[in-house]
Amino acid sequence: MISEIKVFAPASVANVSCGFDVLGFCLDPIGDLIHVKMIEKPGVHIGNIKGYKVPKNPLKNVASVAVSALLKSHPTKNGFIINIEKKIKPGSGIGSSAASSAGAVFAVNELLGRPFKSDKLLDFAMFGEALASGEYHADNLAPVIFGGFTLVRSINPIDIVSLPYPPELIVTIIHPKIELKTIHSRAILKDDIPLKKAIKQWGNLGALISALHTNNYNLLSRSLQDELIEPARSILIPKFEEVKNEALNQGALGSGISGSGPSIFALSKGMATAKKAGNAMAEIYKSIGLEYDMYLSPINKVGIKILK
Amino acid sequence: MISEIKVFAPASVANVSCGFDVLGFCLDPIGDLIHVKMIEKPGVHIGNIKGYKVPKNPLKNVASVAVSALLKSHPTKNGFIINIEKKIKPGSGIGSSAASSAGAVFAVNELLGRPFKSDKLLDFAMFGEALASGEYHADNLAPVIFGGFTLVRSINPIDIVSLPYPPELIVTIIHPKIELKTIHSRAILKDDIPLKKAIKQWGNLGALISALHTNNYNLLSRSLQDELIEPARSILIPKFEEVKNEALNQGALGSGISGSGPSIFALSKGMATAKKAGNAMAEIYKSIGLEYDMYLSPINKVGIKILK
């Protein structure tokens, strides 16, 4: 073994109501731990897997697929063993595949002496996302790699805009324990959409971006709307409308599907409101006996962190 | 006659590449002059018309239709005579109907002692826009009424976001002298659009809004893209691609169709580049013997102005 590195690759929320496939922000309290060892013999291997189950076959694991994409652009005589402590449940809607893909390419890039910049790492990590969902997309990867709140202007070429956000913004996540594969949530969407609804969507997105730049909580709240994707996807999520309405009733600024679901996010001004929203959301799932996880978190400014 | 008022109602650029139906900014050097007299006998009349021809019939003139909408919400025993010096050619793509509609309701609101706020004036002026184009839209009206660069988050209810913009932004407008009715430019658009193109459009729009907030000229330039509306509409505009490319070749940040055309706008950093772009754009029309008008203008911060 030549050297090794361990990173924390956080969960993230993509789409954020009106920003389908372009908006995302990074979470704090939960993430995968990716431990990569560089070895002398070439090849990319999955080593130990702890926590949630993911494929051991390097052709089917998002982390190794993303690393292999990196190594195609940077051939080396060395090999890599990727150990994964999988703490984000696959199919939970908070960027499970993005965390492992981004964490692995980030770690390997460090071990190789940083031949690539962040934009390029995103390019490689997208191969992991494509394996998981059938589509190249960067709305979860960008906040994991850059931290904070991000907009993907373009994926070809990669063009990421880091957005400011109001300091008191707190995220509530509730994850009802059903599994929803991104690939299925994508299949439910139509290839064509009504122009009139698209206009509403980009009106809201534009207003949301402006609200983030000006700390305008009222405008942010008015803009967190999605008449396009949410109506189609929410039918896959138990009690979605009730959970969302409870969050809003408790004073959350907005609420919607996290990524492709089933997790639901709420954004609130301040921890007290975020907690109240979370408790009310949880009551809905308690009342029907559905297990859930809940997270409360400020937006994570940093993204991936090196642990050792 | 009880009282009278004269206002300057400026031209405007709507859509602005990626912001179909939501973005717009206000121009300086050209606008309609609207002179309204309040009389004792009720009714809304079109008085003198100078300049470009518009209907004398108050049911067919956008200014009187907009004023009638206002009076429905604010009944009065008085009547109004609207005199119009029509300096913006109808069908030129720089908000001709918006200027007359907004100017007239603004003037009448002043004569009545300002019973309505700007948001509400926009609601009334939209009746003029609907008469001209067959659709209620506020992307030209908002910059005329509020000034500057605006985003229409919603028209029902009205929700307008005033956007900042870099101080050195200069607009070049070239208007090839063919007439294009908004109603025809709308008919060429399909009711449904591909989701993939919509995602690109709102990625660009979000990035453009961020660029306006941060004076980021490079990002602004990368975001001024439209793969959705421009390809369909540009076939109605002679030599569109050549004119646009000339503007970009001379260093303009971006160029596209102004409103529904046939006018073409370019945005540049500084007057020198805006002039160079304008000259190069004009050469294309000179070479085919097509008459044109050209305007150079900073963005007009104020919008409608009272003249006396």
pLDDT digits (tens, 9 = 90+) for B105-121: 999 999 999 999 999 99
**CB-based contact B194 A190, cutoff 8 Å:** no
Q: In this predicted structure, what is the pLDDT of residue B147?
A: 98
Question: Are A220 and A254 within 8 A, CB to CB?
Answer: yes
Average pLDDT over residues B283-297: 97
- Taking one residue from A and the other from B, the number of pairs with CB-CB distance under 8 angstroms is 122
For residue B32, pLDDT beyond 90: yes
Question: Dihedral sign, CA of A51, A56, A59, A63?
Answer: positive
Token pair recorded at residue B126: 């939209």
For residue B186, pLDDT beyond 90: no
Tell me: cis bond preceding B194? Omega within 30 of 0 counts. Answer: no
Q: In this predicted structure, what is the pLDDT of residue B193?
A: 96
Amino acid found at A49: I
Q: Which of B135, B150, B153 to mutate to test the interface with A (most CBs of A within 10 A)?
A: B153
Token pair recorded at residue B222: 């990368």
The residue annotated as part of the active site, out of B182, B230, B246, B273, is B182
Q: In this predicted structure, what is the pLDDT of residue A180?
A: 72
Question: Are B236 and B261 within 8 A, CB to CB?
Answer: yes
Nearest to A193 among B21, B153, B193 (CB): B193
Question: Are B285 and B161 within 8 A, CB to CB?
Answer: no
For residue B185, pLDDT beyond 80: no
Average pLDDT of chain B to the nearest whole number: 96
Question: Are B192 and A228 within 8 A, CB to CB?
Answer: no
The model's confidence at residue A154, banded by pLDDT at 50, 70 and 90, is very high
pLDDT digits (tens, 9 = 90+) for A21-47: 999 999 998 999 999 999 999 999 999
Burial of B98 (0-12, 13-18, 19+ CB in 10 A): buried
Please report where in the chains the tokens 């956080």 appear, as a residue: A10
For residue B7, pLDDT beyond 70: yes
Chain A neighbors of B156, CB-CB under 8 A: none
Total residue length of chain B = 308
Average pLDDT of chain A to the nearest whole number: 96
Whole-prediction pTM: 0.96
Percentage of residues of chain B with pLDDT beyond 70:
99
Distance CA A9, CA A109 (A): 14
Q: In this predicted structure, what is the pLDDT of residue A82?
A: 98
Q: In this predicted structure, what is the pLDDT of residue B188?
A: 83
Token pair recorded at residue A76: 């080396």
The residue annotated as part of the active site, out of A129, A172, A230, A273, is A129
**CB-based contact A210 B23, cutoff 8 Å:** no
Q: For chain B, what is the total number of helices (H) and then of strands (E)?
A: 10, 12
Among this protein's residues, is B129 annotated catalytic?
A: yes
Percentage of residues of chain A with pLDDT beyond 90:
93
Chain B neighbors of A199, CB-CB under 8 A: 20-22
Distance CA A144, CA A177 (A): 23
The model's confidence at residue B82, banded by pLDDT at 50, 70 and 90, is very high
CA count, 13 A, side-chain hemisphere, A292? 28
Residue predicted with more confidence, B282 or A181: B282
For residue A118, count other CB atoms closer than 10 A to its CB: 17
Q: In this predicted structure, what is the pLDDT of residue B254?
A: 98
**CB-based contact A201 B202, cutoff 8 Å:** yes
Measured in angstroms, the CA of A154 and the nearest CA of chain B are apart by 7
The B-side interface with A (CB below 8 A) comprises: 18-23, 151-154, 159, 161, 163, 189-196, 198-210, 213-214, 219, 222-223
Measured in angstroms, the CA of A286 and the nearest CA of chain B are apart by 37
Chain B neighbors of A134, CB-CB under 8 A: none
Nearest to B194 among A20, A192, A213 (CB): A192
Q: Which of B196, B209, B219, B228 to mutate to test the interface with A (most CBs of A within 10 A)?
A: B209
Residues 6+ positions from A205 with CB-CB distance below 8 Å: A18, A19, A22, A23, A223, B202, B205, B206
The A-side interface with B (CB below 8 A) comprises: 18-23, 151-154, 159, 161, 163, 189-196, 198-210, 213-214, 219, 222-223
For residue A1, pLDDT beyond 70: no
The model's confidence at residue B242, banded by pLDDT at 50, 70 and 90, is very high
Average pLDDT over residues A144-159: 97
CA-nearest residue to B198 within chain A is A198
The residue annotated as part of the active site, out of B4, B40, B76, B129, is B129
Chain Cα centroid distance, residue A142: 9
Average pLDDT over residues B232-237: 93
**CB-based contact B159 A214, cutoff 8 Å:** no
Domains of chain B and any CATH numbers:
3-163+301-306 (3.30.230.10), 169-298 (3.30.70.890)
Residues facing residue A45 across a β-bridge: A81
Distance CA A135, CA A97 (A): 12
Measured in angstroms, the CA of A230 and the nearest CA of chain B are apart by 14
Distance CA B92, CA B210 (A): 30
Token pair recorded at residue B36: 């309204």
Question: Are A54 and A15 within 8 A, CB to CB?
Answer: no
Q: In this predicted structure, what is the pLDDT of residue B1?
A: 62
Chain B neighbors of A222, CB-CB under 8 A: 153-154, 159
Q: Which of A10-14, A122-126, A175-179, B31-35 has the lowest mean pLDDT?
A: A175-179
Among this protein's residues, is A241 annotated catalytic?
A: no
Question: Are B260 and B182 within 8 A, CB to CB?
Answer: yes
Question: Are B132 and B108 within 8 A, CB to CB?
Answer: no
Question: Are A290 and A177 within 8 A, CB to CB?
Answer: yes
**CB-based contact B207 A21, cutoff 8 Å:** no
CA angle at residue A278 from A54 to A246, to 5 degrees?
A: 115
Average pLDDT over residues B48-54: 97
Question: Are A285 and A176 within 8 A, CB to CB?
Answer: yes
Q: Is B220 helix (H, G, I), strand (E, B) or coil?
A: helix
Amino acid found at B268: S
Percentage of residues of chain A with pLDDT beyond 70:
99
Average pLDDT over residues B91-96: 94
**CB-based contact B193 A191, cutoff 8 Å:** no
Nearest to A213 among B192, B202, B213 (CB): B213
**CB-based contact B153 A222, cutoff 8 Å:** yes
Q: In this predicted structure, what is the pLDDT of residue B133?
A: 86
Distance CA A285, CA B161 (A): 38
**CB-based contact A193 B195, cutoff 8 Å:** yes
Distance CA B217, CA B204 (A): 14
Residues 6+ positions from A10 with CB-CB distance below 8 Å: A26, A27, A28, A30, A31, A99, A144, A300, A303, A304, A305
Distance CA A79, CA B294 (A): 63
Distance CA B298, CA A5 (A): 54
**CB-based contact A199 B161, cutoff 8 Å:** no
The model's confidence at residue B181, banded by pLDDT at 50, 70 and 90, is confident
Question: Are A105 and A66 within 8 A, CB to CB?
Answer: yes
Token pair recorded at residue A283: 């009551």
**CB-based contact A151 B207, cutoff 8 Å:** yes
